[in-house]
Amino acid sequence: MDGPAPKYEPLAEIEVDQVKPERQGFMLTGQGPDLAEYQLDLRFEMPLDPRTRTVLGELLSHSDLIISRRAGPRTLVALRNRRERAHKP
């Protein structure tokens, strides 16, 4: 190994409430623990046949999303500060 694996900082955890088929994929919507509404557009570069679209839609409707990003030193500090401010009454 070349060193420690890069750390990823979770930005949002979303419980998928709705999966809407779109022309090239799906639009997933859901609510995070912060009660904010989130939307994710999932697009495929290839056409999906109806059966595949149905199966994928069903699988995605029973999923949760965790959106993370690789965090650099400045990003970690900013996210930590924002999280601390959000939890203060």
Q: Is the pTM of this model over 0.75?
A: no
Of 5-14, 20-29, 56-65, the one with minimum mean pLDDT is 5-14
Q: Is the pLDDT of residue 70 over 90?
A: no
Q: pLDDT by residue (tens digit) across 22-32?
A: 988 999 999 98
Phi, psi of 21 (to 5 degrees): -65, 140
The domain limits of the chain are 8-87
* Cα–Cα distances in angstroms (integers) from residue 61 to residues 14, 33, 55, 57, 69, in the given order: 12, 18, 10, 6, 23
50 pLDDT tier (thresholds 50, 70, 90): very high
Place of tokens 């900082």: 9
